[in-house]
Amino acid sequence: MKNTEQAIITIDDAIVQADNLSLFYGEAQALFDISFAIPRHQVTALIGPSGCGKSTFIRCINRMNDLIDGLRITGSIKLDDRNIFDRAVDVIDLRRRVGMVFQKSNPFTKSIYENVIFGMRIAGINEKPILDETVEKSLRRAALWNEVKDRLHESAMGLSGGQMQRLCIARAIAVSPEIILMDEPCSALDPRSTAHIEDLIRDLNGEYTIIIVTHNMQQASRISDYTAFLYEGELIEFGPTNRVFTVPVKKATEDYITGRFG
Amino acid sequence: MLKKILKNKYWQDGEPFVWATGAALTLILVLTFALLFVIVKNGIAVYWPADLVHFEMEDGSAYLGEVVQTTDDEQAGIRHQVKIGNRDLYPLDFKWLTEAHIQQKTAPREAVLLERSAYGNFYGYLAGLELPSLEVPATDNPWARFKSALAALGPGLEELQDIQAELSTLNAQVERLDGKIAKLVYHDKEADPQMAALQRRKESLSQEFQAHVSRYEVRERDLMANTALFEDAGGRQQTIALMSVIRAYRPNDMSPVAKTGIYLRKVWELFTAEPRESNTEGGLFPAIFGTIMLIFIMSILSFPLGVLAGIYLREYAREGLLVRLVRIAVNNLAGIPSIVYGIFGLAFFVYGIGSSIDQLFFPEQLPTPTFGTGGILWASLTLGLLTVPVVIVATEEALGAIPSGLRESSFALGSTKLQTLTRILLPMASPGILTGFILAMARAAGEVAPLMITGVVKLAPALPLDATFPFLHLDRKFMHLGFHIYDIGFQSPNVEAAKPMVFVTTLLLLAIVITMTSSAIVLRSRMKKKFAITND
């Protein structure tokens, strides 16, 4: 049976809109003409084999790639109809709206408390009641509160790997971003901690827009509403997760999902 | 054959290699401990009052003194090196006595050791007292009377010190007036009414000065008249002014407790008093002060400079050929011989900047240089230059060792580069930076060569920090422990007499360096605990 639907669907209530996005590391092109919209308050998973450009793509959304020398971008990414590559856009402001959680959990060498409120401190918020409230709220939201509430002022280095990653999520939520980017947040964790984080992502769904890069196909199907499949720097397919996993439009998507390559 | 041996399991397992590494480490440890042992053994015993031995020789001569060392060789037999002191009586204050020629050795209880402000120690026996201007009750015990006469001298000596202090205050005032007068002369304002006032003031100060000087001389003559008559081992008599006696005791008649008291008092003197007898006796206070102040000024100058440069190189400079060249240059700077830094400091700081400062701000003093000659500021700057590369390298490496994930997380939370640096990177890099810096400081503390041409002297008339305006005198020359070792050990007219002081100074310098390095280790482990990254 031939699937007649579009390979890349359009979204009505989009928060991020990529248009003809291409990215070059010096001479080498890493992303080719990527155009698609990411739905608001949904979990979108980016899947694809290693080196396909998933991480590169999400790092464009909070302009983390700015730090790399010799990087060139053409096309645009619009966040609420405003091109984030525009000269007038304040990158600090952008990063407050677009939080990020990395593959390797990397809490700062400070107390748990200070880790959570780091974003607020650098934004100049120092009122204790507000900070206390944020710490509790963010840690509860990250399902970490009960485990650490008695040792908030101890070093974050004493936490387990899974707890550290949840602390990083709490740290990202604390500045109330609209979007949270997650770059393979579970790849360094054991299955139990992974389940914990997955529950958390499901739980945050509806409140934040989450864009998650993952290698784990089951994970993508479990937690995401929409799935984008990238291959060799090109967007092959984007649609509701159910459809992409059950009736993929493109042959490449089907091959990847069924484990024929990648 | 050789191949067969090398194929042996013993060689294959690398057993000999383990032995070689262990042997290398052992050798280094042995050398280090031997060095420490020699210095500590010789340095610690210097101030312990040794027993005095009276030698009667076969030829009828007699000597009294401390046995410094005893040697035994086949040709000369057993010989003792004895410190016999009494430099005003004998040509040499050390003598070798051959055991075979000694008729009798005794340790008389009444043998006296006098530490004097001139001519070094005197070893002899008390024979009489002459006290025209002191009232000390006569007793049967001449030694007790001698001791109380010394004590009774105290108020007179204090008075002399007071007059001396007043004299130096007056002197400073006259110098300042001279400066003002020279300034007026330089600006061709000799007719200025101010000039006359200044001259009058100087006149009256000079008169006051003269009055103090004559008062001092009268008082001094008065006190000098109080003398004690001493006899050396051979019966030669010597009159010694009580004023010149710093300490008098009879070591053979002292309990270990009393000896400990003398020992502690001399150690205290070491830390607080000025040197005497061309630096071979007395304290080291100006040298300790100079060393610490030098390191302090150097740190204030070089630490921020090095850290800032290191931050720029690692965090801001775009990686490329130029940065690589700069990095190589910085690494090489750390390896340049320190004397080269000294010459650069002399040419650039002293003759370059110093002379310009003199021409701009102190033209009236010329040709006498103010900053255009060696001084503690220039020496500190030169040492700073020497340590800056080490600080830069330490800063760069400490920053480079921080995982890039932490930078990214900080940026991802919306912090600027500066916020990331001050809140995340620098605290984490601080143990590494501080360790590097304190090691650099320890190196600078032991550096002598560059100081010799940028401002160190064997005897500085005044400290670079004192109570006269403007209190901090960065143009002044200073004393330094490292230079002190060189000076008294190799430039002293009486090397044998200076030897104990060399050991004491070395021990002190070593103690300062060890204190600094061990504090670096403590600091590092503490900060590491605070900022360490753990991953499971």
pLDDT for residue B431 = 86
**Residue A59 forms contact with B (CB below 8 Å):** no
Minimal Cα distance from A60: which residue of B? B412
> In chain A, positions 156-215, which contact chain B (CB-CB < 8 Å)?
157-158, 160-161, 168, 171-172, 175
The SS3 call for residue B79 is strand
Nearest to A215 by CA among A51, A43, A47, A45: A47
How far apart are alpha carbons B247 and B500 in whole angstroms?
18
Q: How many domains does the structure of chain B reveal?
A: 1
pLDDT < 70: residue spans in chain A: 1-5, 261-262
Residues of B in contact with A102 (CB under 8 A): 405, 408-409, 412
In the numeric block, the tokens 């000039």 are attached to: B195
Strands of the sheet with B94-98, listed across from one edge: B94-98, B77-83, B62-73, B53-57, B102-106
Rounded Cα distance between A144 and A203, Å, is 13
> Is residue B270 in some structural domain?
no
A108, A119, A161 member nearest B414 (Cβ): A119
Both tokens of residue B465?
């920090």
Would you state the pLDDT for residue A5?
A: 67
Is residue B215 included in any domain, yes or no? no
Q: Which domain holds residue B346?
A: 285-535
Q: Could you tell me the CA-to-CA distances from B237 to B158, B233, B346, B528 in Å, in that order? A: 29, 10, 52, 68
Q: Chain A residues with CB inside 8 Å of B416's CB?
A: 92, 122
Report the 10 Å Cβ neighbour count for B310: 26
Picking from B405, B415, B534, the nearest residue to A122 by CB comes out as: B415
- The ipTM assigned to this model is 0.89
Of A46, A60, A43, A9, the closest CA to residue A256 belongs to A46
- Domains recognised in chain A with CATH numbers: 14-108+178-257 (3.40.50.300)
How far is B330 from chain A, CA to nearest CA, in Å?
Answer: 25
CB-based contact, B294 to chain A, within 8 Å? no
- CA-based R_g, chain B, Å: 31
pLDDT of residue B395: 93
Tell me the nearest-neighbour CA distance from B530 into chain A, angstroms: 7
Q: What is the DSSP string of B145-181?
A: HHHHHHHHTHHHHHHHHHHHHHHHHHHHHHHHHHHHH
Q: Which B residues in the span 381-420 are in contact with A, Cβ-Cβ below 8 Å?
A: 403, 405-416, 419
Nearest residue to A213 via CA among A168, A235, A183? A183
Q: How far apart are CA A138 and CA B99, in angstroms?
A: 89
What six digits make up the tokens of B251? Answer: 């070591």
Residue A192 to chain B, least CA–CA distance (Å): 15
**Angstrom distance (rounded) from CA B536 to CA B532:** 13
Q: What is the CATH number of the domain that holds B341?
A: 1.10.3720.10
Q: Do A241 and A214 meet the contact criterion of CB atoms below 8 Å apart?
A: no
Q: Whole-model pTM?
A: 0.80
How many whole angstroms separate alpha carbon B205 and alpha carbon B183?
A: 19
**Among A67, A160, A172, beta carbon nearest to B411:** A67
CB contact under 8 A, B413 and A99: yes
- Residue of chain B nearest A103, judged by CA positions: B405
DSSP string, B41-55: HHHHTTTS-PPPEEE
Query: In the prediction, which pLDDT does A43 show?
Result: 92
Chain B interface includes A90 (CB < 8 A):
no
Tell me, yes or no, whether B391 lies in a domain. yes
Residue-level pLDDT at A113: 92
Tell me whether residue B489 is in a domain.
yes
Q: State whether B414 and A106 contact (CB < 8 Å).
A: no
Interface size, chain A vs chain B, as Cβ–Cβ contacts under 8 Å: 75
Buried b / exposed e along B145-170 (16+ C-beta atoms within 10 A): bbeebbebbeebeeebeebeeebeeb
**How many residues can be counted in chain A?**
262
Q: Do B412 and A99 touch (CB under 8 A)?
A: yes
**Which pLDDT score, from 0 to 100, does residue B439 have?**
81
- Tokens for B248, please give them: 């008098």
For residue A260, give every residue at least 6 positions away whose Cβ sits within 8 Å of its Cβ, in sequence order, or none. Answer: none
Find the residue in B nearest to A168 (Cα): B409
Give chain A as a DSSP string.
----S-SB---SSEEEEEEEEEEEETTEEEEEEEEEEEETTSEEEEE-STTSSHHHHHHHHTTGGGGSTTEEEEEEEEETTEETTSTTS-HHHHHHHEEEE-SS----SSBHHHHHTHHHHHTT---HHHHHHHHHHHHHHTT-HHHHGGGTTSBGGGS-HHHHHHHHHHHHHTT--SEEEEESTTTTS-HHHHHHHHHHHHHHBTTBEEEEE-S-HHHHHHH-SEEEEEETTEEEEEEEHHHHHHS-SSHHHHHHHTTS--
From the CA of A100, how many Å to the nearest CA of chain B?
A: 6
Is residue B461 helix, strand or coil? coil
- Using the Cβ of B74 and the Cβ atoms of chain A, whether some distance falls under 8 Å is answered with no
Is residue B373 in a domain? yes
CA distance to partner chain B, nearest, from residue A259 (Å): 31
Q: What is the pLDDT of residue B134?
A: 78
User: How far B406 CA lies from chain A's nearest CA (Å)?
Assistant: 6
In chain A, residues with a C-beta closer than 8 Å to the C-beta of B532 are 109, 157
- A231 vs A48: CA distance, rounded Å: 6
Residue B339 lies in a domain: yes
> What is the rounded distance in angstroms from the CA atom of residue B471 to the CA atom of residue B464?
8
Q: pLDDT (tens digit, 0 to 9) for every residue of chain B, 536 residues total?
A: 677 777 777 777 788 889 999 999 999 999 999 999 999 988 888 888 888 999 999 888 899 999 988 888 888 788 999 998 888 888 888 889 888 888 888 999 889 999 888 888 899 998 888 888 777 777 888 888 888 888 888 888 888 888 888 888 888 888 888 888 887 787 777 777 777 888 888 888 888 889 889 988 988 888 888 888 998 888 888 888 888 888 899 998 889 999 999 999 989 988 888 887 777 778 889 999 898 889 889 988 899 999 999 999 998 888 889 999 999 999 888 888 889 999 999 999 988 888 888 888 777 767 777 777 878 899 999 999 989 999 999 999 999 988 888 888 999 998 888 999 999 999 889 888 888 888 888 888 888 899 998 888 888 777 888 777 777 788 888 889 999 899 888 887 777 888 888 899 999 888 888 887 888 788 878 887 777 665 43
**d(CA B494, nearest CA chain A) in Å:** 60
